[in-house]
Every structure is written in structure tokens, then in C-alpha cells.
């Protein structure tokens, strides 16, 4: 058995647990919207056609924000197609996913769904095929109370009060050659700066996210962030980070260490943003919106869009089935996001329903939770207060992709008001349990209130509509406190949450 020690002190906090770290993403892609959140013929559908069983699970998942409507989709989207009487809305070709967009759901429906699900909207504007004026028109429609063309159009469409959306994305992945309206960093940086400046003339209180590079492996990575932020630094608040390239490809040891790569990604973006800050002598800091992240088996058949003359509505796309190891990695990626809470101020698990998602549905039928649902929901529910700086003394394992990495990874949150402590831990070993010891001596008398572990001897177990409950986080009876030290045994390939309260 491996042994690891975690040392913490409440005086050393990294930053607050930010609710926006637990965001998600709804794009007009595959079955995420149609037969995902929206399925008018479903037995649980409400008057707007939204599945109430999906809304219930969205609340249980603990989602705080939802980014919309893309994603690659937004770079060719005409937002005005999705307002007004549904019967009058046009059908359009969606070039991003080779599909037909019927526009049954648009801005107003999305905002009604956000209210029902209790989430904050995060709206993206089209800077691919459109630009400054289109962004201003959409902002006017959403945030101006009335008395102008687009604000009065919103009121005529049934929304008397403005939506007051605070968080806006200035396009999506504009360095990607696959993006409709793909741009150079100079082109995009200038456009983002001008769009941001104009949008703030309408609503100075909005928060704006500039597109970072669409992946750490892109040839543009680093240079893109530097050029874009040099152009737009004073006009934006956050820069985006996207990552999906974590998947088990026969190398389980490297896969379980995926959070090491996320750590490096975040640190690289922070370093670049801070270099621009220093060079430009700026006062504020640009922080990160990690607004697309997940495990994604990008080369599987279900991830390949239609082609030729086939332009279907809501085809099956990107419908990965996640196993136990995938859930452990997702839990570890959340640990990484929390560990960087000083600079990662928002994040979005991509996506919410059906498309590389924690929630799956059958059209007109059942809904169920994938394995990745559980670490996200438990982390969102229990992490609170401040993220503490944790010193980890752990044995290491050699990986082909990331070199030597700790077997044990963990993060700790502390709520000073209640005294509550939450330990989130992952055992990356593929074969050996790890005995974790946490020094609690600086935190007073604590007692274990709950310890849950997600693991299974078969790490490839996958939830289905027929069986989504055989493998769930279970009570870990090994968690004990002796002489101010928490001890717990973590099985191989596992994710755990341990909650403690004042004794």
C-alpha cells in the first residue's frame, strides 16, 4: 500500500471557492438542445417544451452557469432567427456540425430555461461571420429595459423585463481552422477590443471573456494569448481556456494523471497574461474562464459529423459513454480547477446533456446520470469557503505523457464560518490502495461527517439507462480521526470526498 501525507493550515488560503467554477455548457450540437433540454412531446415537458426531469438533474448537478449557444455553432449563428413566433423562424444550415438548425429554441427560450434551472446565463456572440453591430444588437435585446428597437422587440416577444446578462463570451475558438470565420490573432484581437469597447457603452457592468487559443496543443498557443491580450487587455476581464484531449487510449496511468496537464495549461495561460500585464503596465489582472473542459473520445464514430447532402436536425453526435476511470479523471480535473481558484474565475463542463455530458436522455423516454455526474455534483455541493494551500507528500508514478507524477492528488476547502472542511482526493495508482493522512492540528477538533469513494474493481464499468446505479460513490468506513490526524484508505483508480465538521 502507498502512503501519502497532506498538510494544511487555514492561514494559507489560495482564494475563494467560486460558484462559477461549477458551470456547464449548452450548444446547438447533436442532441444537447433538441431531445436534451427541449423535448415538447416528453411526459415531463413543461409549457415551454423543456424536460423537467433534465431540469431536476441540472439542479442536482449543482450547475451555476450555462454557456450558450456555442461553441463552434455560435460562429455562424444569426441570433434573430431564434426569436418571435416559432412557426415563423427559418431553418438554417449549421456549418459547424453539418446539421440543420430549426431555431425552435433561441434567446428567449434559453433565458426561460435558465430561470427554471436556477443557473446564471453566459452568452456568446458571433465574431466569426458577424461582428460589432450584431453583438450590440443582441446586448440591446437582452439588457436594455425598453424604448429602443431591439429592447421593445424583446418586450413584444413576451419578456417585459431585461435579462441583465452579466457574462459574455467574445466569440469562440477563433484560432481554430475549423471555425467559421477563423482569424489571425491580430484580426481577432482588434475585433474583440472594438466589440468589447462598444458593448460597454451600452452596459458598463458586463464581464467579457476574450477567446484564448482553442487548445494547449495548438501551434498558436501562447502567441495567440499574447497578441490578443496586448490588443484587448483593458477591454476584457477574462481569457478562455479549452481542453478536451484527455482520453484513455490504452495508457491508463497517463490518463489518470490528466490533471497534471490541466495544471500546466492554466499556469501557462496565467504566465502569458501576466507578461502582457507587465509589458503594458496594466493595473488589473486578467483571469481565466476555463469554459470548455471534459474527457472526450474525439476519434470515436459518434464524434464524426454527417457529411454530403445529409443535414439532419439533432443527429447523434459526441455521445460518449463514460466509465469509472473517466469519472475519477473528471473529479481530478475539478481538483485542478479549485487548486487554481486564485486565477480561474469561471469554468464550464462541456456539455450538459447527451453531448459529452453527465446527463443522458432518450427522446421521449428515460433520463440517467453518467459516472462523471457524481464527482461534479458532490464537489459543487460540498466545496465551500476558501481553497487552502495543500502540501502533498506522496510517492510518484512514471507516466509516458507527463513524466513523474504524484500518486495522490488532493485539494482542501475550509469554511471559516462553520469550521467545515472538505478534502477531495484521487488515488491515481492503477493497482495499489493509498493510505492518506491529513494533519488537522491547525484546525481544532474535527469529526468526520461523511466519507464517500467512487471506485470499482472494473474501472471500465459504464452507466446505462438500464443500470445507472450499480456503481455509485459509497461510504468509506476507513475514515477516522486520531490525535488530530485524519486517516483514510483510498482504493486504486478512485475519487473521494471527505467532509469534516467541528466536533
Give catalytic residues, as residue numbers: 173, 292
Q: Are strands 494-502 and 421-427 parallel, antiparallel or unpaired?
A: antiparallel
Burial of 260 (0-12, 13-18, 19+ CB in 10 A): buried
- Tell me if the bond preceding 351 is cis, omega within 30° of 0: yes
**Rg of the chain (C-alpha set):** 23
Determine the 3-state secondary structure of 208 from DSSP: strand
Determine the 3-state secondary structure of 475 from DSSP: strand
Determine the 3-state secondary structure of 356 from DSSP: coil
Task: Report yes or no: 410 and 389 within 8 Å, Cβ to Cβ.
Answer: no
| Distance from C-alpha of 231 to C-alpha of 233, rounded to nearest angstrom | 6
| Distance from C-alpha of 39 to C-alpha of 432, rounded to nearest angstrom | 45
**For residue 292, what are the β-bridge partners?**
242
Order of strands across the sheet that contains 408-414: 13-16, 386-388, 408-414, 421-427, 494-502, 446-454, 474-475
Quickly count: other Cβ atoms within 10 Å of residue 81's Cβ.
16
Q: What are the strands, taking DSSP E only, across 58-130?
A: 65-68, 92-94, 99-101, 120-125
Name 179's Cβ contacts closer than 8 Å, sequence gap at least 6.
Answer: 72, 75, 96, 128, 172, 173, 214
DSSP state of 50: B
Task: Report yes or no: 333 and 259 within 8 Å, Cβ to Cβ.
Answer: yes
In this structure, what are the phi and psi dihedrals at residue 75, rounded to the nearest 5 degrees?
Answer: -70, -5
Name 134's Cβ contacts closer than 8 Å, sequence gap at least 6.
Answer: 79, 125, 126
Amino acid at each position: 500500500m502507498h502512503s501519502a501525507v497532506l498538510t494544511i493550515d487555514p492561514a494559507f488560503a489560495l482564494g475563494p471557492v467560486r460558484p462559477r467554477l461549477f458551470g456547464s455548457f449548452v450548444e446547438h450540437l447533436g442532441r444537447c438542445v433538441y431531445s436534451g433540454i427541449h423535448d415538447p412531446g416528453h411526459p415531463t415537458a413543461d409549457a415551454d417544451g423543456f424536460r423537467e426531469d433534465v431540469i431536476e438533474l441540472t439542479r442536482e448537478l449543482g450547475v451555476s452557469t450555462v454557456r450558450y449557444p456555442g461553441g463552434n455553432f455560435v460562429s455562424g449563428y444569426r441570433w434573430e432567427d431564434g426569436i418571435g413566433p416559432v412557426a415563423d423562424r427559418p431553418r438554417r444550415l449549421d456549418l459547424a456540425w453539418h446539421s440543420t438548425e430549426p431555431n425552435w429554441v433561441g434567446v428567449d427560450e434559453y433565458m426561460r430555461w435558465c430561470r427554471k434551472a436556477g443557473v446564471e446565463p453566459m452568452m456568446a456572440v458571433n465574431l466569426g461571420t458577424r461582428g460589432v453591430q450584431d453583438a450590440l444588437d443582441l446586448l440591446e435585446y437582452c439588457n436594455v429595459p425598453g424604448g429602443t428597437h431591439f429592447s421593445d422587440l424583446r418586450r413584444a416577444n413576451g419578456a417585459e423585463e431585461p435579462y441583465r446578462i452579466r457574462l459574455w463570451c467574445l466569440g469562440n475558438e477563433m484560432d481554430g481552422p475549423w471555425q467559421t470565420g477563423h482569424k489571425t490573432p491580430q484580426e481577432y484581437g482588434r475585433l474583440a477590443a472594438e466589440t468589447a469597447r462598444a458593448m460597454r457603452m451600452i452596459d458598463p457592468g458586463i464581464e467579457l471573456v476574450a477567446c484564448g487559443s482553442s487548445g494547449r496543443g495548438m501551434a498558436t498557443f501562447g502567441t495567440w494569448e499574447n497578441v490578443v491580450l496586448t490588443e484587448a487587455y483593458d477591454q476584457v476581464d477574462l481569457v478562455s481556456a479549452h481542453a478536451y484531449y484527455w482520453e484513455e487510449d490504452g495508457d491508463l496511468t497517463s490518463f489518470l494523471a490528466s490533471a497534471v496537464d490541466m495544471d500546466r495549461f492554466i499556469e501557462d495561460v496565467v504566465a502569458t497574461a501576466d507578461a502582457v500585464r507587465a509589458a503594458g503596465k496594466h493595473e488589473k489582472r486578467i483571469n481565466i474562464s476555463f469554459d470548455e473542459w471534459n474527457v472526450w473520445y474525439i476519434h470515436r464514430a459518434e464524434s464524426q459529423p454527417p457529411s454530403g447532402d445529409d443535414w439532419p436536425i439533432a443527429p447523434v453526435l459526441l455521445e460518449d459513454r463514460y466509465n469509472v476511470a473517466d469519472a475519477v479523471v473528471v473529479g481530478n480535473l475539478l481538483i485542478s480547477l479549485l487548486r487554481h481558484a486564485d486565477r480561474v474565475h469561471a469554468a464550464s463542463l462541456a456539455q450538459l446533456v447527451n453531448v459529452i455530458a453527465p446527463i443522458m436522455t432518450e427522446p421521449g423516454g428515460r433520463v440517467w446520470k453518467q459516472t462523471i455526474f457524481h464527482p461534479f455534483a458532490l464537489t459543487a455541493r460540498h466545496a465551500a469557503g476558501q481553497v487552502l494551500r495543500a502540501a502533498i507528500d506522496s510517492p510518484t508514478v512514471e507516466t509516458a505523457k507527463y513524466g513523474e507524477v504524484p500518486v495522490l492528488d488532493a485539494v482542501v476547502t475550509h469554511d471559516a464560518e462553520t469550521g467545515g472542511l472538505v478534502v477531495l482526493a484521487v488515488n491515481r495508482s492503477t493497482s495499489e490502495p493509498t493510505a492518506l493522512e491529513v494533519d488537522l492540528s491547525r484546525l481544532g477538533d474535527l469529526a468526520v461527517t461523511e466519507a464517500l469513494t467512487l471506485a470499482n474493481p472494473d474501472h471500465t464499468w459504464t452507466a446505462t439507462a438500464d443500470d445507472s446505479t450499480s456503481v455509485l460513490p459509497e461510504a468509506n468506513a476507513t475514515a477516522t480521526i486520531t490525535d488530530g490526524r485524519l486517516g483514510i484508505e483510498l482504493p486504486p483508480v478512485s475519487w473521494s470526498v471527505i467532509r469534516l465538521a467541528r466536533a
